[in-house]
Amino acid sequence: MRPTPTSLAPPVPGPVPRRPWLDHWLESVKDLAELQASHPMVDAVIDEIDGRMIRVGEQWLADFASCNYLGFDLDRDIIDAVPAYLDAWGTHPSWSRLLGSPVLYEQIEERLTALIGAPDTLVLPTITHIHLSVIPLLAASGTIFLDARAHKTIYDGCQAARARGAAVRRFRFEDPEHLDELLTAERDPTRLVCMDGVNSMTGNPPDLPAFAAVARRHGALLYVDDAHGFGVIGERGVGITNPYGSRGNSIVRYFDETYDNLILVGGFSKSYSSLLAFIACPTPVKDLLKVAAPPYLYSGPSPVASLATVLAGMDVNERRGDALRDELERLTRRTLDGLERLDIFTPNRSGLPIIEIPLRDHGQIDSVGRFLFERGVYVTLAAYPLVPKDEVGFRVQLTAANTDAEVDTLLAALEELAARGVLRPAGELPTARSAAA
C-alpha cells in the first residue's frame, strides 16, 4: 500500500523534554546525598582532636582523611609563633590585596619564590580563587586542553573560561601522546593545557617532563595544579635518600624541570595547614594578574593567623622539613607494604601519601564506611559522582603526625575487609582509568 502523503511528512518537532538543571544535579549526586544524610563519616561534626586522633560523638578514630601532610597543624613551634603576629597586625587585615597588603605578603612571596626556584609568585587566598580567575585570563578566547581527570576546581576554571569565549577539549588522563595528537590537529594559536600535579585520588604525579615537552613543542602554555605535591615532593639529587626528594619545593623541582612556558599553582592549605595559595609565573604575568584577576581586587585576604603559620611553617620546613618528610615516607611505606601483604589493590604507584582503595562493588560504600568507623578508622569516602562508579571506594592519607599504632589500627581493619572480599586483589587489572576520558 502506498503511504499517504501525511505519513511521509517528517514528524512535527514538539518541545524537547528538558529536565530542570536542579533535578538533573540532584539525580547525579543522589549517592553522595544519601551518605551525607546518614553516614557518620560524611559531613561529620568532629568534637575534639588529640594529635591525629579525632572524636566524633562517643567514637575516637585515627584520622586518615587529613591533608596536613607535614603535621604543621599540630606543630608547637608554629602554634607558638601566631600570637606575636596577631599582636602586630590584628586578626584580619580586610583590605583586598590591591588596596593594601601587609608586608607579610611580600615576605611570603619572596621566600616562596626562592624555595620553588620560580621567576616570581603571587599569593591569593585559595587555589579555587586562582583557577576561577586566572584560567579564563590565560585562555582568553583561545583553546584549553583539559586533563580528563582534572580536579573539579580546574574544571570549573575552564568552564568559566568557556563562558567567556574559550573552547575546551579534553585529553586522556596520563596520556601525553593524546595531548600531542589534539595539539597537532588544533589550528587555534592560543593554547593552554590545564592539569593536576600529584593527583588527589591516585597519589601519582603525571609525567611532567613529557607533558611539558609536548606543550612546548606546540607553543602551548602548561598550567599545573600541585596542591598535593607542594610540601611533600621536591628536588632530588646526590645525597638525597628520601624518594620524595628534599625541601618540598613541588613538582617542577622534583622532576628537575624548568618554568619555561609553565605556570605552577599550589596551596598552603594542605602541607602548610594555612589558608593561602600561590601562582608561580613570570613577573609580567604577576603584574597583569594584580589588575586583571578578580580576587586580587575584589576578594578578602587570608587571615593574619594563616599568613603567620605560612611564615612559621617555612621556618620549620627549613629546619626540620626533611625529617618530617622522612617520617611521612616511612609511615606511607608501612601502609603500602601492608596493602601488598594483604593483596589489596591501590592505584598508588608513587609511594606518596595518598592511597585510594576502590571497592569491588560501589554499592557497598555505605556499609564499608560504617565498618571502618566502628573500627576507629576515619578515611575520605570516595562516592559517586566524586569518582566514576568503578572507582568508588575510600582514600587514606598519611601525615607525619600519624603514629605507628594508628597505622596498625588501619591495617587490621583493612585485613578484615579484604577477608570479606569487598576489596579488589592487588593482581586485578586497574579499571580503564586512562580510557575513562
Ligand X SMILES: Cc1ncc(COP(=O)(O)O)c(C=O)c1O
Contact footprint for ligand X (CB under 6 A): 126-128, 151, 153, 196, 200, 225, 227-228, 267, 269, 277
User: Closest separation between CB of residue 374 and ligand X, Å?
Assistant: 27
What is the rounded CA–CA span in Å between residue 23 and residue 34? Answer: 15
CA–CA separation, 120 and 134 (whole Å)? 15
Q: How far is the CB of 84 from ligand X (least distance, A)?
A: 26
Q: How many CB atoms lie within 10 A of CB 217?
A: 11
Question: What is the nearest approach in angstroms of ligand X to the Cβ of residue 273?
Answer: 12
Nearer to ligand X, 302 or 409 (CB): 302
- Taking Cα atoms as reference points, which of 313, 294, 266, 304 lies closest to residue 123? 266
- Pick between residue 152 and residue 164 the one whose CB is nearest to ligand X: 152
Residue 97 or 424 with smaller CB distance to ligand X: 97
Residue closer to ligand X, measured from CB, 244 or 413: 244
* Distance from chain centroid for Cα 314: 21
Residue 169 three-state SS: strand
CB of 431 to ligand X, least distance (A): 21
Question: Rounded to whole angstroms, how far apart are CA atoms 355 and 342?
Answer: 15
Give the residue with the Cβ less far from ligand X, 97 or 228: 228
User: Which among 307, 254, 262 is positioned nearest to 285, based on CA atoms?
Assistant: 262
What contacts 24+ positions apart, CB below 8 Å, involve 118-121?
A: 118/252, 118/259, 118/264, 118/280, 118/281, 119/259, 119/280, 119/281, 119/282, 119/283, 120/280, 120/281, 120/282, 120/283, 120/285, 120/286, 121/278, 121/279, 121/280, 121/281, 121/286
**Which one, 295 or 393, has the nearer CB to ligand X?**
295
* Minimum distance of ligand X from residue 332's CB (angstroms): 18
Distance CA 151, CA 153 (A): 5
Give ∠ CA 333-335-340 in degrees, rounded to 5: 90
Minimum CB–partner distance for residue 412 and ligand X (Å): 28
CB of 362 to ligand X, least distance (A): 22
Least distance from C-beta 400 to ligand X, angstroms?
19
Q: Which grid coordinates belong to 106?
A: 611580600
Closer residue to ligand X (CB): 268 or 414: 268
To the nearest whole angstrom, how small is the minimum distance from the Cβ of residue 266 to ligand X?
Answer: 9
Say how far apart CA 150 and CA 403 lie, in whole Å. 32
Nearest CB to ligand X, comparing residues 229 and 393: 229
Q: Which residue, 195 or 417, has its beta carbon nearer to ligand X? A: 195
CB 192 within 8 A of CB 144: yes
